[in-house]
Every structure is written in structure tokens, then in C-alpha cells.
């Protein structure tokens, strides 16, 4: 197996093909066929997909091809092949959620974001493996850079499909670290936008920290996907949706960034720590001020408050999952994994007062994060406590991502680093509704670090 | 047809039967059989139910009967027959939402609140008619006090079943005025609690103003139903749920109430206006200070701001319904009513910026209402602009209820009045999370007005 190098690794991109679609040198159908070739080669090992609708995708790609030939594509993602995490409904494929409860289930409709994507002309190619109901019990997918390692979860198939170059974009979702962590493990670009920015209707993604996220081969394609969803399907009901222009913010150097360690820093391996320091050194050389817990009391307050962010996230989710999991449990044995049943037994003991106390603690975390806005443009951290762990029995720890899910902030995972011959992602985050701004920062960091860093 | 008189009209109650269940003079099974007798007599005319599970209800009532005999009921609503608005999922009956889109659909699971109700021992008897997807296109139900008049909507069957004395409690839901208005038309007691107080999971009730509400024959049974749902199924995810004790607040006289006219006051018929004045006069005689737009600038501001509350509510809902209605429309003709298709065509023209502007306007309404908290305990108004209109083609106007749905405040409808020989409800509302307090006020008003007023 070749050693992963973020500077030479090629990811599949779509936005740079559009000029060739418009002048006829290439077509969405030919683009799709190239994706299918990669899938044919890599899927037997990677196993990213639960199901595909190849005929439907070819028909959609042909329609897009016609639209480009006529000079009137529907959007900047018209003809873009995309995979959908199998927590979300699709009218042409079953939605099975990695769970026996939903085996074979067909809702007959598209989830809100899928409906929006099709309006934009995107080619919905297949459903991507998720862990059981988006929690920790793993699916079949393997890391595309080492089949003996996890791809992460719960957006396992989404991250693996991008890492393997099967599609240029894939939908994931995150409650604790289900987009950013697998994206880091699989060398993806990914964004978890501001909470509420993308409509979650039509899927098993309705917890109070659930976000839709995008895995992609480029910041440009991820941003375009977000924008089209927000503008064609809206944000969550009651939320203002994604802010920002159709074109992603131009690469922009941030002025000041908070360096976040998270509770897992002491357990990060030396190679990953050293790799992260190269990013920090690069930022400093470029004149970016780095603020960390060692010298800033507000950062220390936030780091200390978020030491149990993962546990708090899990406890909040457990209360919110008493239904529907309690209803599924009643259907009899085998419907939920042992690990899920154990968690549900914990949830049975929670009271409404317990839940209120947890929501108040989460509000404290949000306030502590908001206090950092006066002193920095955002934060930088590792996407995970090291590269993808060996073995397929666990999807790794989301403890480096849980706090930024709690705060509902926009976060990118960027494939900047390597450790143990595997991808190692870097999180770059901002403040709620500043998705466009942090996208400019992410583009600057990708360009400057990978070419000069 | 006898003329309706709120002072002599008997509604079916449950809480006062519990002592007889405990000492064996009565049983939940016998109580259910009495409900079934009423249903057998009244249902051919009223048509409140879509479907019933009588065998399942009898089995559940027998279990409750055994628990009382053993001196250990599950809760204060153990054995209580209840009907569920057909927007919400039930594991033993189809969920058809008054729409061909959902004809025959069985989700195989209970909605969150149904799951909670069964945990409390409630006897889920059947599904109650809703208008199409909870909007305006009517179902088959008729007003129990005059079959030539609408029961109101969208909780048509829920209100009619209570008005006819078929069950002591029924679940409804409200986005604009779908609980309070039909409750008023059908002589119900009903509560629309604070936004987020009761878990909406598992049903077509996911708009940013959707609330679950309870129709009942008494404040005590409605409160008990709310409390059990909140404590066994939680509030909406991310919300703190219903505040208050298991026992409803004792009857308490409010000190000051805002008298709200709403935009429809000029169109209210003289008899209804005069009836409402008898409540106002009663309050004044009892020493309650009444504050109205004529003498208070903040009340005038709120009344003026909410003059288009219904239109704003509808426009917000339309944006939020682009999905899933857009997906249903694609299935072909006949899936949506003409009125729904016309609205959806309007929604197609809306942009994310339009939606943001509407959310900002809603926030202004919320702030204007919050400004009244310093000067009053809550508000009083008619539940509707007169008694149920004649005819079955329209469910009447929710324009007197839309603003209090926008503000997410707790509101009771109380069957205090009559006009044109029909029930005429009075709204008594409070401020968010003060559900318990306004419940004490509602008990006081019911007792004092109907016995002394």
C-alpha cells in the first residue's frame, strides 16, 4: 500500500469540468461513466454503497448532458454525481439506515435536500453506508487508504466514497463528529455548516445537534452543494438557512485563530501532534496570530467547559432518542444492536429535569464559544486524535468534534496532513452564520499550506 | 335541535372517575364501553373518526382495569380513552393525514406522544379526522351541535369527538388556529401549550409554528394529558418541555389581562360581541384589570403588528412546505387538492431571502407580545369570530388565533359562551413557559363565570 501524501493525492472534482461540459469537450454522462469505472474497481474492497440506481443516474446524466449542449444548465452542480447517506429518503432507492428496523423500507419520496439537489440537476447515484441509525455500531465500509482500518462514522460510506474518488460529492450528517472525523480519516474536504443551514426534512437526522454536512473532493464543490440545497430546499424550518453567495468566498487569510486542543490532546500520537504543529507554524509564518489555552483565559474556559462535550452530547441525544428507539425496541430482539440497547437503558433513567440541566450546560458552552468571537476569526484543531484507527469494530472517537457540534458552528475538515501513512484532517471552524467567511479561510489555508507549507 | 347552553352542557370527564376505579365501583373497561355507546349513537352523523381499533382499546382498558384492581395504576390517565389526530403515527392503525398521498399508509410505530400516552396507560381508541395534511381542505366531520355546520379544522375530528362526548380527551395540533378555533366551535376545553412543550416526533407536524394541543372535556384531563406526554415523551428536541406540576395549578384569579380584539373584531357578529362583553364585565366585577388597545400603546402596537398575522403565518408555512409538498405534487394529479396546489404555486416563487424577512417579522411580533408581560398576566379574546359557520366547505377563519401561534404562547379555549344557539369559545392565554399559571387562571375563569357569571 502506498503511503498517503496530501500534496500529491488527487481528489475528484466537478466544478473544473463545467467549462468542458459547456463547450462540448466533456459531458456529464462521460463524467458519470468515469465515476462508475472507479466504483467498479474500488467498491469490492471499500464497500461504500448500500445500493445504487445506475440506470436512473445515467438517465439523469443524459438529461444534464442535453442541457449543457443547449447552453442552459440548471445550476453550477447540474450533472454532478452525488451519493446520499442512507439516513435520508430517496424516491428511487430504499432508505435502510444501517438498521434491521428499516430493512427494505421505501418512503417513495426524496428528503428535502435530495429534492433540492435534483432540482439543481445533480445526479443521485446511490445510498452510502451509515452506522446503525447514525450512531456507533459500524457498517461494512472500509477505509479507502487501508482496508484494515475504519473509515470513521457515522458517515462512513460518504467519507470512503470521496476518499476513493468514486464521486465528487456526498451527503453526510453529524451530531457529534460524524462528518468531520470520517472526512479526516478518509482524506476528504468536508463542511458541517452552521446548525439549521440545510434542511434536514425527510430522514433520521432530527436531534437537536443534527446537521447535514457535505463530503467532497474540493471546497468549491462542497460549497456549491450547500448553496444549492439551502436555496432550493431551504434551511431547517424556523432557521434562516445558509448565508453566503453562490460563488464561494475568495481565499482569504484569517487574522487570528484559536488553537483548540480538546480533551483528547494528551492521547494524540506524537506523529499527529508534530504534523499539526507544521500547520500552526505555517500559519504563524504567514502572520496569523494563534491564541491558545496556555495564554488566554477565555480559551482555557472554553477548553475546560468542553472537556466532557462528547459525554454531554451523548446524554442529550439519548434523551432525544427515548423515542423513537423505545418504539423500535418493543418490536422484539434483534432490532437494535447491543450497544444501542445499553444506551437506551441509560436513557430510560433520564427525567425531563435532567434534560433541562443538560440543555443549560450546552448553552454555557455556546456562550463560552461566543466569547471567543471578539478575539479571533475562528479556530483550528485536528479533525481526529490521529489517523483512522486499525480495525473495523469501532469508528473512532468523535471527542474532538462534539463541542463544535454543540455550538452549531461552521467547520471544515481539510486534508492537509498525514500520519502513519494515512490521511490526517485539520478542522478549521468559524462562528454561527459565518460559513462564507470560514470558507474563504479554508480555501486560503488549503492553497497556501499544500503549495508552500 | 336544542339550543347550546354552556352552563348546562355536560362534557365527558375522566379524572373524577379515578376514585371509582380505585375502589371498584367503576372500571376503565366499563368507561370505554360507555364511550363506545356514545360513538355508536353519534358517529353516523358526526363522523369524527377515520378508523378505530376497538379490540385493541378493549384489551388496553382491561389491562388498566386489572392495574386499578391491584391498586397500582400507571399514571393519573391510566385507562383514559383518547383519540389521535390522523396526522400522527400509530403502530396499530394507518396514518392517512386526510390526503390521498398517505391513503392506507402504516408506519408501524407510534408517534412520540402516542408512545408516551401508552406508557401512561392511556387507551388509544382511534384516529380522528384532519383536514388535508392539516391545512384547509375539509374532511368529512360535522359539527356535533349542528350537522350542517363545520366543526372547524384542522383538528376537526378531535374537536367534534369531544363536543359529542365520545371521549374525554383527544390530540389535536395547531399551526395557525387548528386547535383553539375548532375547540371553540365544538364547545371543548382545549390547550395549545407553549411552543416545543410536547414532542412532535412521528407525524406531519414539523413546521416552525406547529404545536400539539389537547382537546378535552375538562381542564384537569387536558392538563394531565399534557403533563404525561411531556414527562414520558419529552418536549420537542432542544426544547425544555412543559413546565409545571403533575397536579394542575389551583384556580387562581388573574390580576390583569390584555383584551385582544384581533383583526377580525369588526367582522364579529353582534351576538358574539355581546357575549364576549359578558366575560369582560364578569372579570371587571371580580376585580381583574382589563387592558385594551384603546388605552394602552403597547397593546395597540401588538394589535397593529398582528393585523396580518394569518397571512404571515401562511406565507411562512408555504415556504416550509415547498418540501414535502413539492415532492408529493410530482407524483401526479389528484395527490393534492386544488387549493393546496394554488398555494404551492405561490410558494414556488418565494426565496430564502423572503423567508428570512418573514422570520424577522415574526420575531417583531414575539417582541411586541413579550413587552406586554410587564403589564399583564396574559390575554383574553374570542376563540373565533363567532360560532361555527354554516356549511361544510370551509372550516372557518383562524385569524383570531394565528398571532398566538406565532408567539408560541400557551392558550386555553374555554366553552364559556353561546351565540346563534351554538358554542362560542373564549381564548385565555399567557406567556411562554407559563402554562401552569395560565391553567390556574383558566380553572378560576371556568368556575367563576359558569357558576356566577
- Give B55-102 pLDDT, tens digit per residue: 999 999 999 999 999 999 999 999 999 999 999 999 999 999 999 999
Give the pairing type, strands B289-291 and B422-429.
Answer: unpaired
- Cell numbers linked to B115: 408512545
The gap from C-alpha B163 to its chain's centroid, in whole angstroms, comes to 13
Q: Which residues of chain A have pLDDT under 70?
A: 1-2, 453
Q: How far apart are CA A348 and CA B224, in angstroms?
A: 21
Element containing residue B83 per DSSP (H, E): strand B81-85
Q: Point out the residue among A237, A351, A356 whose CB comes nearest to the CB of B320.
A: A237
Radius of gyration of chain A (CA): 21
- Cell numbers linked to A448: 497556501
> What is the predicted ipTM?
0.95
- Cell numbers linked to A166: 468514486
A182-237, pLDDT tens digit by residue? 999 999 999 999 999 999 999 988 999 999 999 999 999 999 999 999 999 999 99
Q: Point out the residue among B237, B240, B326 whose CB comes nearest to the CB of A320.
A: B237
Q: What is the dihedral of CA A399, A405, A409, A414, to 10 degrees?
A: 50
Grid cell 399583564 is found at B376
Q: Does A107 touch chain B (CB under 8 A)?
A: no
Q: Point out the residue among A109, A238, A323 whose CB comes nearest to the CB of B115.
A: A323
Mutate to test the interface with B, among A196, A238, A313, A435 (most CBs of B within 10 A): A238
Between residues 65 and 104 of chain B, which touch chain A (CB distance below 8 Å)? 91
Mutate to test the interface with B, among A133, A211, A237, A350 (most CBs of B within 10 A): A237
SS3 B146: strand
Residues 6+ apart with CB under 8 A from B226: B191, B193, B197, B198, B214, B242, B435
Q: Which residues of chain B have pLDDT under 50?
A: none
Q: Point out the residue among A199, A208, A323 whose CB comes nearest to the CB of B323.
A: A199
Nearest-CA residue of chain B relative to A320? B237
Count of CB atoms within 10 A of residue A451's CB?
A: 8
Residue A453 is predicted with a pLDDT of 52
**CB-CB neighbors (< 8 A) of A328 in chain B:** 109
The length of chain A, given as a count of residues? 453
Q: How far apart are CA B185 and CA B159, in angstroms?
A: 8
| Cβ-based burial of B136 (10 A; exposed 0-12, middle 13-18, buried ≥19) | buried
Q: How far apart are CA A441 and CA A416, in angstroms?
A: 14
DSSP state of B450: H
Question: Do residues B429 and B405 make contact, with C-beta atoms less than 8 angstroms apart?
Answer: no
CB pair distance less than 8 Å for B110 and A233: no
Q: Does A196 touch chain B (CB under 8 A)?
A: no
Q: How far apart are CA B261 and CA A205, in angstroms?
A: 41
CA dihedral for B325, B328, B332, B336, sign (positive or negative): negative
Q: Does A356 touch chain B (CB under 8 A)?
A: yes
Q: Does B335 touch chain A (CB under 8 A)?
A: no
CB pair distance less than 8 Å for A240 and B91: no
Residue B452 is predicted with a pLDDT of 74
Q: Reduce the secondary structure of chain A to three states and give it as a string.
A: CCCCCCCCCCCCCCHHHHHHHHHCCCCHHHHHHHHHHHHHHHHHHHCCEEEECHHHHHHHHHHHHHHHHCCCCCCCCCCCEEEEECCECECCECCCCCCHHHCCCCCCCCCHHHHHHHHCCCEEEEEECCCHHHCCCCCCCCECCECCECCCCCCHHHHHHHHCCCCCEEEEEECCCCCHHHHHHCCCEEEECCCCCCCCCCECCCCCCCEEEEEECCHHHHHHHHHHHHHHHCCCCCCCCCCCCCCCCCCCCCCEEEECCCCCHHHCCHHHHHHHHHHHHHHHHCCCEEECCCCCHHHHHHHHHCCCHHHHHHHHHHHHHHHHHHHHHCCCCCCCCHHHHHHHHHHCCCCHHHHHHHHHHHHHHHHHHHHHHHCCCEEEEECCCCCCCEECCCCCCCCCCHHHHHCCCCEEEEEEEEECCEEEEEEEECCCCCHHHHHHHHHHHHHHHHHHC
Grid cell 385569524 is found at B399
| φ/ψ (deg, to 5) at A51 | -155, 150
Q: Which domains does chain B have, with CATH numbers?
A: 15-249 (3.90.1300.10), 309-366 (no CATH)
Strand boundaries in B169-220, DSSP class E:
169-174, 189-192, 211-216
Amino acid at each position: 500500500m502506498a503511503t498517503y501524501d496530501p500534496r500529491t493525492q488527487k481528489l475528484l472534482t466537478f466544478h473544473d469540468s463545467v467549462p468542458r461540459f459547456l463547450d462540448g469537450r466533456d459531458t456529464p454522462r462521460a463524467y458519470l461513466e468515469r465515476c462508475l469505472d472507479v466504483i467498479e474497481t474500488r467498491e469490492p474492497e471499500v464497500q461504500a454503497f448500500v445500493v445504487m440506481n445506475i440506470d436512473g443516474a445515467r438517465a439523469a446524466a443524459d438529461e444534464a448532458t442535453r442541457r449543457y449542449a443547449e447552453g442552459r444548465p440548471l445550476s453550477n452542480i447540474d450533472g454532478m454525481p452525488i451519493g446520499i447517506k442512507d439516513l435520508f429518503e430517496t424516491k428511487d432507492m430504499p432508505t435502510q439506515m444501517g438498521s434491521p428496523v428499516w430493512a427494505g423500507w421505501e418512503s417513495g419520496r426524496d428528503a428535502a435536500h435530495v429534492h433540492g439537489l435534483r432540482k439543481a440537476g445533480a445526479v443521485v447515484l446511490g445510498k452510502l453506508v451509515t452506522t446503525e441509525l447514525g450512531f456507533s455500531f459500524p457498517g461494512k465500509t472500509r477505509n479507502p487508504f487501508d482496508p484494515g482500518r475504519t473509515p470513521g462514522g457515522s458517515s462512513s460510506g460518504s467519507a470512503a466514497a470521496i476518499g476513493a474518488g468514486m464521486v465528487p460529492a456526498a451527503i453526510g450528517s453529524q451530531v457529534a463528529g460524524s462528518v468531520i472525523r470520517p472526512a479526516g480519516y478518509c482524506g476528504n474536504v468536508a463542511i458541517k455548516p452552521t446548525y439549521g443551514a440545510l434542511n434536514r426534512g425527510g430522514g433520521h437526522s432530527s436531534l437537536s445537534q443534527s446537521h447535514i454536512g457535505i463530503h467532497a473532493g474540493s471546497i468549491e464543490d462542497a460549497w456549491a452543494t450547500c448553496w444549492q440545497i439551502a436555496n432550493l430546499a431551504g434551511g431547517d424550518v424556523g432557521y434562516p438557512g445558509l448565508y453566503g453567495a453562490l460563488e464561494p468566498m475568495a481565499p482569504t487569510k484569517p487574522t487570528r485563530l484559536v488553537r483548540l486542543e480538546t480533551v483528547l490532546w494528551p492521547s494524540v500520537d506524537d506523529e499527529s501532534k508534530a504534523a499539526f504543529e507544521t500547520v500552526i507554524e505555517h500559519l504563524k509564518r504567514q502572520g496569523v496570530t494563534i491564541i491558545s489555552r496556555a495564554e488566554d483565559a477565555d480559551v482555557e474556559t472554553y477548553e475546560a467547559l468542553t472537556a466532557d462535550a462528547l459525554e454531554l452530547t451523548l446524554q442529550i441525544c439519548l434523551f432525544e432518542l427515548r423515542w423513537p428507539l423505545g418504539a423500535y425496541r418493543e418490536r422484539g430482539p434483534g432490532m437494535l444492536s447491543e450497544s444501542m440497547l445499553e444506551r437506551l437503558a441509560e436513557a430510560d433513567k433520564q427525567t425531563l429535569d435532567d434534560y433541562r440541566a443538560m440543555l443549560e450546560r450546552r448553552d454555557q458552552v455556546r456562550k463560552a464559544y461566543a466569547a471567543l468571537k471578539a478575539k479571533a476569526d475562528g479556530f483550528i484543531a485536528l479533525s481526529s486524535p490521529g489517523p483512522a484507527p486499525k480495525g473495523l469494530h469501532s469508528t473512532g472517537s468523535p471527542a474532538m468534534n462534539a463541542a463544535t457540534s454543540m455550538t452549531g458552528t461552521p467547520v471544515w475538515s481539510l486534508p492537509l496532513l498525514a500520519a502513519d501513512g494515512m490521511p490526517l484532517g485539520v478542522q478549521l471552524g468559524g462562528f454561527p452564520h459565518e460559513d462564507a467567511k470560514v470558507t474563504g479561510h479554508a480555501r486560503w489555508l488549503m492553497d497556501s499550506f499544500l503549495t508552500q507549507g
